[in-house]
Amino acid sequence: MSDKGKAAVAAHKIHAIVKYPDPVLSRPAEKVTEFNADLVELVAEMFESMYAAQGIGLAAPQIGISKQITVIDVSFKERPEDKLVLINPEISERKGKQFEEEGCLSLPDIREKVHRAAAVTVRAQDEFGEFFEVDGDELLARALQHEIDHLHGVLFIDRLSRLKRDLIYRRIRKLQKNGEW
């Protein structure tokens, strides 16, 4: 009897997504220094939590863990090779410009265009501590910049004009008042 099939569908804990204005979202996350089985499990839980929330990227602060860990899958389960685990990531190169719409699991139903680099190169570690580099353009470049921002306590609304940001704050306060946030 093989339990391979079982392992593939083994359930991992689904974490609740932390919403703005939880302070964990605006706090710079700590670097990961220990690479162990707990970290491997946490990464698996982050992927499950991201898929459960219909997201293509999730940063650890979004589940209340202030550590420099983020997972991305711009294909949303379509291409296994698109699954990215980025620990202690740093953007080493930025090229060009793009201005496209973004959303965030911590800011449900809010979408705005954000100025970003068109392409980036990121150096990071995987969940086993191995260093690697990844190049991304278009959607992947946006996801990389958006998720790495989270690890520095920056949300995409922080990159909007003052006017747009104030409108969003007002909208959120109204939703909070109505118990819809």
Q: Is the dihedral of CA 30, 34, 39, 43 positive or negative?
A: positive
Near Zn ion by CB under 5 A, which window of 26-34, 46-54, 101-109, 168-176?
A: 101-109
Near Zn ion by CB under 5 A, which window of 3-11, 85-93, 102-110, 169-177?
A: 102-110
Active site residue 41: no
Within positions 138 to 157, which residues make up the interface with Zn ion, using CB under 5 A? none
The residue with tokens 């990215």 is 84
What strand order describes the sheet that includes 131-137? 57-59, 69-72, 84-95, 119-125, 131-137
CB of 103 to Zn ion, least distance (A): 8
Q: What are 84's strand-pairing partners?
A: 72
Report which of 76, 86, 61 is spatially closest to residue 155, judged by C-alpha positions: 61
CB of 59 to Zn ion, least distance (A): 7
From the list 45, 48, 112, 147, the catalytic residue is 147
Does 104 sit near Zn ion (CB under 5 A)? yes
Residues that bind Zn ion (CB under 5 A): 104
